[in-house]
Amino acid sequence: MVAAYKPRFTPISYDGIDINTPAAELPEFLERIAERGGYDPRTGKLTPFKSISDDFDECMINQMLDSMTAAVEAGLGTPATFFKDFFTTEQDVQNFADALDDYSAEETFWVNDRHFNAFIHATNSSEENAVTYPAMAGHIRELFESEREKAKKTAKPTYKKNVN
């Protein structure tokens, strides 16, 4: 006989860090936030990801997903503000999506349940857009293109009409 499954949250690297955690215990964590952006659970501040290169390793993408998850679990990162909250530049969005594709290529097949749940809430996505990391990447690209199109339609010309 097999014992019944007991659901439990998958731990992430942010678990156990809170307002009472001394900065001296987190030098690498704080350095990463200063260099790359992310969520600081000690202060509740979310700094958009920045300087996302196209060559970082799977550990970095996991830390970014953990950061995004912790921020969403803290009530930050809404569908209306997803890109502004989490990314500094268009290139950062693209490199993050590319990194998600690469993460899967590194044989990371299983989407962490907390990453899944946070992504669905932060992007107002259906499950099909979050069941794999490449699905997340594709959906980020779709959402970003949609945001671009909306911005083009609402952009007002900055020049004045010539009135004769």
- Say how many residues make up the chain: 164
55-64, 114-123, 147-156, range with the lowest pLDDT: 55-64
Of 106 and 157, more confident: 106
Helices (H) and strands (E) in the chain, counts: 6, 2
pLDDT (tens digit, 9 = 90+) per residue, 40-61?
Answer: 999 999 999 998 876 666 788 8
Sign, CA dihedral 154-159-160-164, equals negative
CA distance linking residue 103 with residue 116, whole number of Å: 15
The pLDDT value given to residue 89: 94
CB-based contact 137:101 (threshold 8 Å): yes
pLDDT (tens digit, 9 = 90+) per residue, 26-40?
Answer: 899 999 999 999 999
CB-based contact 86:48 (threshold 8 Å): yes
* Category of 12 on φ-ψ map: left (φ > 0), alpha (ψ -120 to 50) or beta: beta
Structure token pair of residue 30: 């704080």
Domain boundaries, the chain: 23-151
- Judged by DSSP in three states, 46 sits in strand
% of the chain at pLDDT higher than 90: 57
Provide the whole-model pTM: 0.85
Q: Mean pLDDT across the stretch 132-154?
A: 93
Half-sphere exposure of 12 (CA within 13 A, CB side): 24
